[in-house]
């Protein structure tokens, strides 16, 4: 019997393409994602312009100047507090010596009383050779008791005084610690601001540095132009004042001598001459924040030293210097006057005439002559 043919369909092997499709889809998705991220990514911050860099650096130097004045103020307060603490500690030591003396005196009385013992008045009367001896001895004992009482009183007085001085010294030491902490903070602030300024300048290319230098030259030229204009105005005002004085002298029949000079004016002129002579001698010396000479200065250190050379003591910081003497309008400035800058009064220079000043500008620069219009003027004073 012939075999029957099978009705089952033969299996057909079909190769699956799913993995390939999956890989292709993943690759397309990746490309799409990257494209989307590239398209939506925030653009890089634009590099600041040279003008912005100049403004930022100038502002950092100004902030460093403010921090320098804070440092100077804290340093002066710390030094004053240290002197007060030292004086109090000396007083505490003296009080301790007096307390020990009183303690020794009291101890001597106690030891003497212990050795001799105390005798009742009735026993002293019966043991005395005669009544007069009793009264003499009794008076002596009264004086001894009075001395003992005084010794006790002195001891208590010295003990209270010593305790008071120790408390004052302790409080003064706490204040000194606070002043020293402020001093450290101010120093750190100065260093931070100067570091930021140096970091900004170090990132500039040679071309950018050249452009920045050109901006500085333009700024200096504009400041010089304003100084020259002020010099012309002051010269004209002086000529007019001299003319009026001469006319007044002629009308009074005093000839060519106007007679307007006074001893006070002469003294002020002499002081101004000494101030400027000192300031000129410091030209070229480096600015160092917190320095008061003789080899380097900060701005208020230079002004303080210059006026000291003229025999006038002025405070250490710009904030205190601006409060002294007489306020002067810019148009009325005379050599030796102090000119202050910025709203926070963080810089000061010495007016030399013709719209120019001598000042210690900033870190990295030397004491130099410059237009008073190089920085925004706050106000001016005549110290003496």
Q: Round to whole Å and give the CA distance between 35 and 40.
A: 9
Per the annotation, the verdict on 347 as an active-site residue is yes
For residue 322, give both structure tokens: 């601006």
Q: Round to whole Å and give the CA distance between 225 and 245.
A: 30
Catalytic residue among 359, 360, 374, 381: 359
Residue whose C-alpha is closest to residue 172's, from 50, 87, 279: 87
**Helical H segments across 117-130, by residue range:** 121-127
Per the annotation, the verdict on 7 as an active-site residue is no
Residue whose C-alpha is closest to residue 59's, from 176, 197, 210, 159: 197
Q: Round to whole Å and give the CA distance between 190 and 16.
A: 73
Which class for 333: exposed (0-12), middle (13-18), buried (19 or more C-beta within 10 A)?
Answer: buried
Catalytic residue among 197, 299, 333, 338: 299
Residue whose C-alpha is closest to residue 321's, from 285, 366, 275, 364: 275
Write the CB contacts of 228 (distance below 8 Å, at least 6 apart in sequence). Answer: 354, 355
Catalytic residue among 347, 352, 362, 382: 347
3-class state of residue 109 by DSSP = helix
List the catalytic residues.
299, 347, 359
């Amino acid at each position: 019997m012939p075999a029957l043919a099978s009705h089952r369909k033969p299996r057909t092997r079909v190769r699956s393409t799913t993995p390939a499709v999956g890989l292709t889809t993943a690759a397309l998705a990746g490309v799409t994602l990257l494209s989307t991220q590239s398209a939506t990514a925030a653009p890089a911050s634009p590099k600041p312009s040279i003008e912005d860099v100049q403004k930022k650096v100038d502002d950092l130097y100004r902030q460093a100047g403010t921090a320098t004045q804070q440092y100077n103020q804290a340093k002066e307060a710390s030094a004053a507090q240290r002197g007060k603490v030292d004086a109090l500690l000396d007083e505490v030591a003296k009080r301790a010596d007096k307390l020990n003396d009183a303690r020794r005196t009291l101890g001597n009385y106690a030891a003497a009383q212990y050795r001799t013992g105390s005798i009742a008045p009735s026993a002293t009367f019966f043991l005395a050779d005669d009544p007069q001896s009793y009264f003499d001895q009794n008076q002596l004992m009264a004086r001894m008791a009075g001395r003992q009482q005084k010794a006790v009183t002195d001891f208590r007085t010295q003990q209270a005084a010593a305790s008071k001085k120790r408390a004052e010294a302790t409080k003064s030491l706490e204040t000194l610690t606070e002043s020293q902490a402020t001093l450290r903070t101010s120093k750190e602030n100065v260093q931070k601001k100067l570091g930021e300024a140096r970091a900004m300048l170090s990132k500039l290319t040679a071309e950018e540095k050249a452009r920045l230098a050109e901006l500085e030259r333009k700024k200096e030229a504009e400041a010089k132009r304003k100084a020259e204009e002020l010099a012309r105005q002051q010269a004209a005002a002086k000529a007019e004042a001299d003319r009026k004085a001469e006319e007044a002298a002629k009308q009074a029949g005093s000839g060519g001598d106007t007679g307007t000079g006074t001893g006070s004016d002469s003294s002020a002129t002499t002081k101004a001459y000494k101030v400027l002579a000192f300031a000129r001698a410091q030209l070229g010396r480096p600015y160092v924040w917190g320095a008061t000479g003789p080899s380097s200065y900060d701005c208020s250190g230079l002004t303080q030293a210059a006026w000291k050379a003229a025999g006038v003591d002025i405070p250490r910081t710009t904030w205190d210097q601006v409060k002294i003497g007489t306020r002067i309008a810019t148009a009325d400035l005379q050599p030796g006057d102090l000119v202050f800058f910025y709203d926070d009064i963080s810089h000061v220079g010495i007016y030399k005439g013709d719209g120019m000043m001598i000042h210690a500008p900033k870190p990295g620069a030397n004491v130099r002559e410059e237009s008073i219009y190089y920085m925004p003027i706050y106000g001016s004073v005549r110290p003496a």
